[in-house]
A and B are shown apart, each in its own frame.
Chain A
Amino acid sequence: MVGVANVSRIDQQSTLHGTEELVINMGPQHPSTHGVLRVILKLDGETVNDLDCDIGYLHRGTEKIGENINYTMFIPYTDRLDYIAAPSNNLAWVTAVEKFFDWEIPMRAQYIRSMVGELSRIASHLLWLATHALDIGAMTVFLWCFREREMVLDLFETAFGGRLTVNAFRLGGLHEDVPEKFLQLTQEFVDIFPSRVDDYETLLTNNRIWLQRTRDVGIISAEDAMDLGLTGPIIRGSGVKWDLRRAKPYAAYPYLDFVVPIGENGDIYDRYLVRIEELRQSTYIIQQCLEQLPGGPASCKTPRTIKPPEGEIYHSIENPKGEFGFYIVSDGTTTPYRVRIRPPSFINLGGLKKLCVGQLVADVVAIIGSIDIVLGECDR
């Protein structure tokens, strides 16, 4: 901060050189904004005084589309929200709609849902780590992470045919049981992956440059994180032990064992550590799913036309980015009356201003990376 004694000198300087606030435009084609995010920064020297986000470049009216097609037809549209972790979105939608009914979803389907959900968490966190590290200047991490992400996408291809937008689940279970080869390849992946996570950590966790760029940067306290509605790894990085897989269990999570990692300081480094630990925990969950996977059918009997009773429900799951939920109003017909997507990226991005003001302009790139946004779901 500027002391009282310095004020007159600074005033003098400003009259001499005519210093003023500098407004610069970052994005929407800037590679470090992870999509089409435009940030308007107001700078005083290198310090960020104020910023404004310009979003909506990818707005496709997904909620409006959802109100005009039936419940099954909306599943592929959810793929296009958080396209980095598409099966997670499918899971949120099918579990939300299933809340209207008292179907008994077979345990085999529940375990496969949890397993594929965790695979998509790994895929999402790997893409986050790759691009986040690349933003800060670590090229090798990018290549290594994409090598393993490719393995996960191959697994999706084996099980569901698609790689990015997979349309994985159906109301009542799965479309078909997964092939035996999928389980074999998943076991191979689970065996190899923990050592790969160790490899990423050798590159970053004690790296001096990484520590300087991430420690004590973009700090957010637990109280502020709750106030801003931040969810997922960000709030856990601030020390709030809260995970919807534990708080409001769904799919097979009541039967699975895992640790919810939390941070202490709430800076970028803590969010990094939380996500790295989540990679390990996800692998552990997949291992348990493979061991406990029961036999039996992969889907329960569902009516040909899905007609939920009148009413309104809200259901959310723990997406890789945070709490991802659906608020559905049914009027008793085959199409929902109102579909609302609770987007974690949109609401987490709302906290960007609080995180960035007072930081250096170079740290804005690191902070955006640490929030882990995907604009497809932010703009919907």
Chain B
Amino acid sequence: MSDEAVENSEETNGAPDSEESADEVAEAVKTPPGEDLKEVVESAFPGAVLEQSAYEDDEDEATFVLDVDSIVAVSTHLRDHGDSLFKLLTDLTAAHYPEAENPLEVLYHLYSFEHNRRLRLKVRIKEGQSMPTVSGVWSSADWMEREVYDLFGIEFEDHPDLRRILLPDNWGSHPMRKDYPLEGRGERIYTKPKRKEIGD
């Protein structure tokens, strides 16, 4: 009887409460990656971060999905704010998801020298929709946006010099899209000129 009473008292008094508090502590410690950076963004632009994710809770894979209209302002803020200082635009690229509602995704990989960390920004846009340029925020975006325009056909508004960079100027299509064939000549169909026969 006494044993049961002890067990009961343990259950009712100490154990469950402490378990709960332990859980709370664990939750408080384990914030999702990039939570502090989200606060940096949200302090100036409430509601700008539409989605937040990270591959396997890796701090370097922190990813924010942003809206098209807020990308330039948020980039400038992240570059200049003391808690982020993302002075290096490591990479700017795109990805094509033909089945998605917004099929084109523009990706910005940022790096901060002071805090030694990375951040990925994403903007999802519709087919034919144009993007604002970030070449005013980081000059390195100039060539990378030209490449995205060249290979994906995404146009960047107010870009200083939006021309094709890798392919010839008259190529006509954008090979990194998923609907572009891997093999064969694609739309570059070369028709053999017909031989002139005698009597033609």
A interface list, Cβ under 8 A from B: 55-56, 59, 61, 63-65, 68, 226-231, 240, 242, 247-248, 311-314, 316, 323, 325, 327, 329, 337-338, 340, 342, 346-347, 349-351, 354, 379-380
Contact = CB atoms under 8 A, between A and B. Distances in A.
A240 B112 CA distance: 12
Contacts of B176: 63-64
B87 A314 contact: no
Given A240-B113, A327-B109, 17 more contacts: A64-B175, A68-B182, A226-B87, A227-B87, A229-B90, A247-B116, A311-B55, A313-B61, A323-B90, A325-B91, A338-B95, A340-B91, A342-B90, A342-B91, A350-B139, A350-B140, A351-B140
Contact of A350 (B91, B118, B143): B143
Contacts of A340: 91, 93, 95, 107
B55 A312 contact: yes
A327 B182 contact: no
Interface in B88-137: 88-91, 93, 95, 107, 109, 113, 116, 118, 120
Contacts of A327: 91, 93, 107, 109
Contacts of A227: 87, 138-140
A247 B118 CA distance: 11
A350 B167 contact: no
Nearest to B111: A323
Contact of A56 (B93, B118, B167): B167
Contacts, number: 87
Contact of B166 (A230, A314, A379): A379
B90 A325 contact: yes
A242 B113 contact: yes
B165 A56 contact: yes
Contact of B61 (A55, A229, A312): A312
B144 interface: yes
B67 interface: no
B93 A228 contact: no
Nearest to A316: B90
Contacts of B107: 327, 340
B83 to A, nearest CB: 18
Nearest to A242: B113
Contacts of B138: 227, 229
Nearest to A346: B143
Contacts of A64: 175-176, 180, 182
B91 A314 contact: yes
Contacts of A61: 175
A12 to B, nearest CB: 34
A346 B182 CA distance: 24
Contacts of B58: 313
Contacts of B113: 226, 240, 242
Nearest to A225: B88
B139 A228 contact: yes
B143 A347 contact: yes
Contacts of A240: 113
Given A64-B175, A64-B176, A68-B182, A226 B88 contact: yes
Nearest to A314: B109
CB-based closest 3 A-B pairs: A229-B140, A56-B166, A350-B143
A59 B107 CA distance: 22
Contact of B165 (A55, A248, A312, A329): A55
B107 to A, nearest CB: 7
